Copies of this chain bind each other. A is one copy, B any other.
Amino acid sequence: MPEKSFIVKGIRVQTSSGLRRAPQQARGAQRIARILDAAAEVIGEVGYDAATTVMIAAKAHTAIGSLYQFFPNKEAIVQGLLERYRDELRAIFDAIITPDLATLPLPALLDRIIDPLLEFELGRHGFKALFVGMHMSRELAAATRQLTDEVVGRVAGIFQARMPTLPREMAQRYSVIVVQIVKAFLGLADAPIMTRAELVAELKALLLRYLIPLEGASG
């Protein structure tokens, strides 16, 4: 199902589903965008549970009532944020995935995929909390799983393109593991023991050593 999305006076609003009502004017659309920005920041700072709607409204320079003008509840805000991230991730993968990926040497492939993803994460404060965080409400867990599934599916597709003999289920399995490893390294990002650059190098070395035997057998 293609995602509905509003364009209101030049401002793109893609939070089609969870909104209480669609904005009719530019200021409404801008406010929604500002609220999502603010939510990303607050969630990035304190996590989903500790993030309050008042904090989000304040950071968006908006009255609490205005927030509820468009979002029916706190969860809908996060849903909107997740939709935004999902769309952005799709665009990144669409740019990453080209025919030459199937035959690219493994080290180059890792650079090609990991670098844009890490850059994306670096610029979205709330992303890590929602992508690697555990334990949320049932519905929210489902929504965040969608984000992960998006990434896992793309990576599995790349595996299958490179290793046509690899069963779909195996591709899925290794993709789940690889994505989880990337998540784990994201969680290490503010450990004072290494720089981000060292961390990225180590991540790539790890994935390289893990995947070489796989590609050797099925490539």
Question: What's the nearest-Cβ distance from chain B to residue A130, in Å?
Answer: 11
Q: How many copies does the complex hold?
A: 2
Whether the Cβ atoms of B180 and A193 lie closer than 8 Å is no
Residues in A lying within 8 Å of B, measured CB to CB: 46-50, 129, 132-137, 169, 172-173, 176-177, 180-181, 183-185, 187-188, 191, 193-194, 202, 205-206, 209-210, 212-213
Residues of chain B lying within 8 A (CB to CB) of residue A188: 176-177, 180
Q: How far is the CA of A191 from the CA of B183 in the complex (A)?
A: 15
Across-interface contacts of A187 in B (CB, < 8 A): 134, 180, 183
Query: Quick one: closest B residue to A134, CB to CB?
Result: B133
- Other than the given A184-B184, A205-B210, 6 more pairs (CB < 8 A) read A49-B49, A133-B135, A177-B202, A180-B184, A180-B185, A209-B213
Q: Hey, which chain B residues are within 8 Å of A135, CB to CB? A: 46-50, 129, 133
CB distance from A95 to the nearest CB of B (A): 27
Q: In the docked arrangement, what's the CA distance between A208 and B129, Å?
A: 30
Contact B209 A193 (CB under 8 A): no
Q: Determine the distance from Cα of A188 to Cα of B184 in the docked complex, in whole angstroms.
A: 11
Q: Across the two chains, which residue of chain B brings its CB closest to A44?
A: B135
Min C-beta distance of A160 to chain B, whole Å: 15
A188 to B173, CA, bound (A): 11
Q: Cα distance A172–B129 when bound, in Å?
A: 25
Nearest B residue to A172 by beta-carbon distance? B193
B residues in contact with A47, CB < 8 Å: 134-136
Contacting A129 at CB < 8 Å: which of B134, B177, B194?
B134
